[in-house]
Amino acid sequence: MKGRGGFTLIEIMIAIAIVGIVAIIATTNFQLWLSHNSAIDFQRELLAQFQAARTRSMATNLQHRLLMNLDAETVALQRGNAGTGSTNWDGTGSALTGSKGAGIYNITYPPGGTTVNAGSFAFLFNPDGQVLAQPDPANSAVTALTQAYIRLSSDSAADHSTILLYGWTSKARLADGWL
């Protein structure tokens, strides 16, 4: 009975252990990859919302605002009914929602000033290029904005970022890490 083919139980157990270890490593890396991509996608989409609000306000000569709900981690682009001092706001598309740990951590305006960690907050984009801060969107009170930091969170600290919004030009840019 020489040359009988087959695997021993020990060989099969070693092969199963190796496959299990590789599967655990692959699953962990895949979850990290999903979390990273979710954070990057949220950053890009939010930055695009800022640019859309700026462009639409100048193109239509109507105020636009980004209404941010920090509790629900949603951002909605809305169109006003006037060039300044809008009293009615209509949604212009679906709301952006953070997912898989990506979201808005806080908003600080002007730098070294007020920090908003919860509730709703709005940025109003005027057709002349100026941005105003509306700390309480239910109230019509607004304040002039020189600069704002919108800190974006993620499951990984390496994916934390900040969007800088400049009040007089209404331009926004993305910076790595929390400034």
121 belongs to a structural domain: yes
131 burial (CB, 10 Å; 0-12 / 13-18 / 19+) is buried
For residues 135 and 127, is the Cβ–Cβ distance under 8 A?
no
Q: Which two tokens stand for residue 99?
A: 């997912």
What are the start-end ranges of the H helices in 61-159?
Answer: none
104 belongs to a structural domain: yes
Indicate the range of 36-40, 97-101, 134-138 predicted with least confidence: 97-101
- What are the pLDDT digits (tens) for 115-126? 999 999 999 999
162-177 average pLDDT score? 90
Q: How many domains does the chain have?
A: 1
CATH code of the domain containing 131: 3.55.40.10
4 belongs to a structural domain: no
Is a pLDDT exceeding 60 seen at residue 1?
Answer: no
Q: Which domain holds residue 23?
A: 9-176
What pLDDT sits at residue 128? Answer: 93
2 belongs to a structural domain: no
Query: Could you tell me which residue, 141 or 67, shows the higher pLDDT?
Result: 67
Is a pLDDT exceeding 90 seen at residue 108?
Answer: yes
129 belongs to a structural domain: yes
- What are the pLDDT digits (tens) for 127-157? 999 999 999 998 888 988 999 999 998 888 8
Q: Which residues of 73-90 are buried (b: 16+ CB within 10 A; e: fewer)?
A: bbbbbbbbeeeeebeebe
| pTM, rounded to two decimals | 0.82
1 belongs to a structural domain: no
